[in-house]
Structure 1
Amino acid sequence: MSKGMFGPIREFAAWLARPQVLHPAGFGEAGAWRRWSALLALHLAVLLGVLLPLMAFWQHALGLPQPEAFLKFPRGVLLVAVVIAAPIGEEIAFRGWLTGRPRSLWLLACGVLAAALLAAVSLHWHEAAASLGFVALVPVAALGWWWLRGLTEPPGWFVALFPAAFAASTLAFGLSHLTNYPVISLALLPMVLPQLWAGLVLGFVRMRIGLPASMLIHAIANAVAVGFALASS
């Protein structure tokens, strides 16, 4: 890695030590692609050099099951689902709102409420009321998003709570991947270290460069993971 590429990595380390709201500059900023390339290289180096070997050792030592995520799709649609759809959807859900724009926070709140209502329906808990609430929430979410479209600055409370919000986003992203396994147990917690690491890198990339930049790194990392899974199957 060239000397010039260590600057973005130092910037990333400094931001992790003190996470704060940033205004993404996008790929149009001078040096953005160099910054993005350095962070991609760092992400893949840790993933391939440390985390995947560690996971393989842990899985073999404890006789843990293989993740089922890659088995849920025919190989013909695997790349589309894991390398395209998942990075787009997960980046929007877990990191799209990290800039704190009011309409993004509004959609996040609506999304959490929608998930709770769907859970109530699946558990047959006040099923009719939950179903009506979910249907009513769709236009309410759209109207709120339109109403807040002119507000771009994050509210003060979000700025103050950003470190906790970033930590919660990273943990939720990592732990959500436990559902890739047929049975969830404490022994599987180390198996989501790659996703926790990804949450740290992708969070900074999203905040420093933008959502498309984090989606692109996410897609490349997923492509690597698919390649390893298919090669070992």
Structure 2
Amino acid sequence: MKSPSFRQEFAEFFRYIRRPALSPRKPGRGGGNGWWKDWVPATSVGRMLQWAGCLWIINIFVFAPIALMVASKTGAAHRLDINNIPFLTAVLWAPVAEELLFRYSLRRPRLSIWLIPLMTWVVVMGPELHSIVLLLLVLMLIVILDIRGLTTNEHALKWHWRVNYQRFFPLFFHGSVLVFAGLHLWNFRFTEMNWWLMPLLVLPQWFTGMVLGWMRVRDGISTSIFLHMIFNSGPILLVWFLLQFSPELATN
């Protein structure tokens, strides 16, 4: 079966976010308990790079100017220390921890009872030794549960709960995206700011979160994690290269 073009996939994404659902999945990602359907990406690296490039372009030219205008008019300042760029945190830690917190449970709703509280604690604590250990333990547990086929929707929820979950899935999907975007308000320092302007600061994370959520549901959690890694690495590498050629930027 011929893979859809990026343009076709882009149109599919916009159709999806109008009414998110658990199906249809990416071809070859149908039912069954195969753990590889969550942990081995069916999306090629090339296609992930296309999506990352698309997100960079849309965020830079559409959403970032809005966020910068709001920040400049309200005095909101980013917490990022240009002299101490958290490369490993942004490229490794954040994608894994945030995807498990905000998107893994979209297809494994029963696990959310214990997974979301644990991962909330992990994300809040950051990449400390104890939270890294807990993250690794959580990863091991959910992979084991996946291999044993104990986390799939077919067996995780009783029939009436599954029907209701599918019915209200759009609320869960967009709710997870909004909370994901809202978390990134922590990246800013505020002096005085109208609360209703705050969402404009995280429009890039909101749009990116919808793409990551769509990737997670139609393909698997590994795809959303890898795309998240690629997406985060772009701006970090750009800043790093700029500092190599123009060190004075760090003092401005």
Q: Same fold (TM over 0.5)?
A: yes
Residue 93 of structure 2 is matched in structure 1 by: 85
Deviation at 1:149, TM superposition (A): 5.5
Q: Which amino acid aligns with 1:86?
A: A
CA contact (8 A) 1:170 1:196 kept: yes
In structure 2, the residue matched to 1:20 is: 21
Deviation at 1:96, TM superposition (A): 1.1
Gaps of 5+ in 2: 30-36, 125-136, 243-248
Looking at structure 2, the residues matched to 7 and 151 of structure 1 have their Cα atoms a distance apart, in angstroms, of 31
Structure 2 vs 1, CA of residues 177 and 107 (structure 1 numbering), >3 Å: closer, same or farther?
same
Superposed counterparts of 1:108-187, under 5 Å:
108=115, 110-111=117-118, 150-153=150-153, 155=157, 156=162, 157-183=164-190, 185=193, 186=195, 187=197
- Normalising by the residue count of structure 1, what TM-score does the alignment of the two structures yield? 0.70
The percent of aligned pairs where both chains have the same amino acid is 21
Contact residue 8 and residue 39 of structure 1 kept, 8 A:
no
Deviation digits for residues 69-125 of structure 1 (CA, Å, limit 9, x no counterpart): x239934xx1001121111111111111111353x333335438x85xx9xxxxxxx
Q: Displacement of 1:161 after TM fit?
A: 1.8
Deviation at 1:66, TM superposition (A): 2.1
- State yes or no: 1:64 paired with 2:71: no
**Normalising to structure 2: TM-score of the pair?**
0.65
Cα distance in structure 2, aligned partners of 1:37 and 1:13: 19
Change (3 A) 1:38 1:198: same
**Partner of residue 127, structure 1:** none
After TM superposition, which residue ranges in structure 1, 4 or more long, deviate above 4 angstroms?
26-29, 227-233
Q: Which amino acid aligns with 1:59?
A: A
- Secondary structure of the 2:166 match is helix
Quick one: distance in 2 between partners of 1:219 and 1:151? 25
Change (3 A) 1:37 1:11: farther
Distance 1:222 1:182, change over 3 A: same
Is the 1:8–1:38 contact (alpha carbons within 8 Å) kept by the matching residues of 2?
Answer: no
Partner of 1:51: 63
- Does structure 1 retain, via aligned residues, the 8 Å contact 2:41–2:219? no
Q: Counterpart of 2:78 in 1: which secondary structure?
A: coil
Offset of 1:151 from its aligned partner?
Answer: 4.5
Over the residues paired in the alignment, what is the CA RMSD in angstroms? Answer: 3.6
